[in-house]
Structure 1
Amino acid sequence: MSNVYQNIAGQIGEMSKSHVKVATYILENQTTVPFLTVGKLAKMAGVSDATVVRFATSLGYSGYPEMQQYMQSSVQQQLTTTDRLKMSQKVYNRGNSGVYEVFQDDIANIKSTMEKLDEAEFYKAVECLLQARRVYVIANRSAISLGVFLQYYLQIVLNNVEMLQSLEASSEKLYNLSEEDVVIGISFSRYTKSTVQMFSFAKEKNAKTIAITDNLLSPLIPHADIPLTVSSQMPSFIDSFVAPLSLINALIMFVGKEKQEDIQDRLEVLEDIWSHFDVFQRGKME
């Protein structure tokens, strides 16, 4: 079932009219469809959302998310940033409320993430972070934005969190990893090689590993003790980081709930420091 397009083409002759519409649109737009939500694919193919879901299950997939994973896997490594820019020109138009379609796609990513979230794994990640001697966050390229946010707030909560980026600058820290440490790897297609390499090494050193990535076909997953998958698809040259950031918010908040007294003491000290150095703007802006 790994060749999803052959699977679709091989069964198109036995499909209902509405399913043929979906199949035809997918086969004619193989580089665009993997990044479409259920609603957007339904709109493009001229069918209902339910028809798209039934189409996926009729092919033997558990649902649209699984079929989408296979479609993305077959095309993502081949697409350049320029290719993805061209996709956005086909999907998002300046007229016809195009800007609202971007918002809707972000909302759809959050809904998809909520539906497939494994709560047991999420709370296991929270417990691992609470028990860790040290926490390391690995992220590169665009995912740095997520890594910096996660490291900044977890450091306030736990006071033992570091950001790892380049292999050259992080090798000494990786050398000292042990089973008492937690390493969080953040990467989305087209997965950064250095992130995968460092995350894999952390697993070899028996550190507890948490992957924040887009699907179970991600190269981070084989090295993850705790996989946390989030939807980030968007037919554009950028990934949608709305759902990943929402998941990170939840992690920080639930870790923070367990460390409330520690945070309060730490924040009081930080407030004194911020006040001493006059960090924040006071009064009204002129």
Structure 2
Amino acid sequence: MVRMTTLLYYKELIVEKFDKLTKNQKKIAQFLLDHPEEFAFSSIEILADKLKVGKSTIVRLAQSLGYDGFLELKTELSNKLRSDLSPTKKFKEALKSEPAKSHFISILAQNEVNNIQATIQKFDRELFNKAVKIFVSAPNIYTMGVGISYFIAEIAAFYLNRITMRAKVFTHGVMSFEEQIISLKRDDAILVISLPPYSYSTIEAAEAAQYRGIKIVAITDKLTSPITQFSDVVFTIETN
């Protein structure tokens, strides 16, 4: 089913159907409205456990909203969020004004300076020390990311090796991240880069790693991003 969707569309759809939903379906629907990113990038098992409802109740809610099931609703919502969160889309919108078109290089440069300064201001030394302990005690460190996040993961692995830590970047190609995680040992560690638009394959892999007891340090844009629920240490950076 193809729909022209916005987040307002989901709100209107839920409001329209709300009175006919069961108590637990209303609970799930409200969570979708309050935390659309977490809903879109979580597995049905994670949602069921978090909301204390049955998986079948989540499926029935999706069907009540006109979807074949949870997977169709999740896929549509995650695709919408990826599009809305895309830095490229935000940048194009910002350049629509005439002043921005005339001075876009200086605007872009100043924006990056602002992001760096804002990131430094919220730097948490205690969290940093915790991440250092995880990496120092790990026999192997793996870095992971998709898209622009992959290049950051690759640079991170390079510099970790430069300071004599055994680091390797996960490739995103023939083997999925989840398949590559199978070979990891419990005392290994993973550095995950998860920036908008979020990659579902990264989040799935982090969930699999957490299940195996592997420590995860994440770099993301906000504490409500999907990767945080599977991470032991989370650093947030400005990406405006």
The TM-score, its normalising length taken from structure 1, stands at 0.50
Contact in 2 for aligned 1:138/1:199 (Cα 8 Å): no
- What pairs up with 1:37-76 in 2 under 5 angstroms? 76=81
Q: 1:115 to 1:80 in 2, by over 3 A?
A: closer
Q: Which runs of 5+ in 2 are unaligned?
A: 1-7, 9-79
Alignment equivalent of 1:133, drawn from 128, 133, 139: 139
Cα shift readout 1:41-99 (whole Å, capped 9, x = no counterpart): xxxxxxxxxxxxxxxxxxxxxxxxxxxxxxxxxx954527574353132256243x432
**2:171 — aligned with what?**
165
Provide the aligned C-alpha RMSD in A. Answer: 2.7
Alignment equivalent of 1:105, drawn from 86, 103, 111: 111
C-alpha displacement of 1:102: 1.3
C-alpha displacement of 1:180: 0.9
Alignment equivalent of 1:118, drawn from 124, 127, 133: 124
The answer to whether the aligner puts 1:149 opposite 2:155 as a matched pair is yes
Question: Matched residue pairs, number?
Answer: 161
Per mean C-alpha deviation after superposition, the further-off stretch among 163-172 and 130-139 is 163-172
C-alpha displacement of 1:147: 0.9
C-alpha displacement of 1:174: 1.1
Return the index of the structure with the highest Cα Rg: 1
Paired letter, 2:142: Y
Identity level (%): 23
Paired letter, 1:146: I
The TM-score, its normalising length taken from structure 2, stands at 0.59
Contact in 1 for aligned 2:178/2:208 (Cα 8 Å): no
- What pairs up with 1:15-54 in 2 under 5 angstroms? none
Paired letter, 1:187: S
Contact in 1 for aligned 2:85/2:196 (Cα 8 Å): no
In 2: Cα distance, 1:80 partner to 1:191 partner: 8
Q: What secondary structure, in the 3-state scheme, does the structure 1 residue paired with 2:132 have?
A: helix
Contact in 2 for aligned 1:137/1:163 (Cα 8 Å): yes
Cα shift readout 1:196-245 (whole Å, capped 9, x = no counterpart): 11111111110110001100111100001000111112xxxxxxxxxxxx
Contact in 1 for aligned 2:217/2:232 (Cα 8 Å): yes
The answer to whether the aligner puts 1:227 opposite 2:200 as a matched pair is no
Q: Which runs of 5+ in 1 are unaligned?
A: 4-74, 234-286
Alignment equivalent of 1:176, drawn from 173, 183, 187: 183
**1:185 — aligned with what?**
192
In 2: Cα distance, 1:218 partner to 1:197 partner: 14
The answer to whether the aligner puts 1:211 opposite 2:218 as a matched pair is yes
In 2: Cα distance, 1:142 partner to 1:175 partner: 24
Contact in 2 for aligned 1:147/1:186 (Cα 8 Å): yes
Contact in 1 for aligned 2:217/2:234 (Cα 8 Å): yes
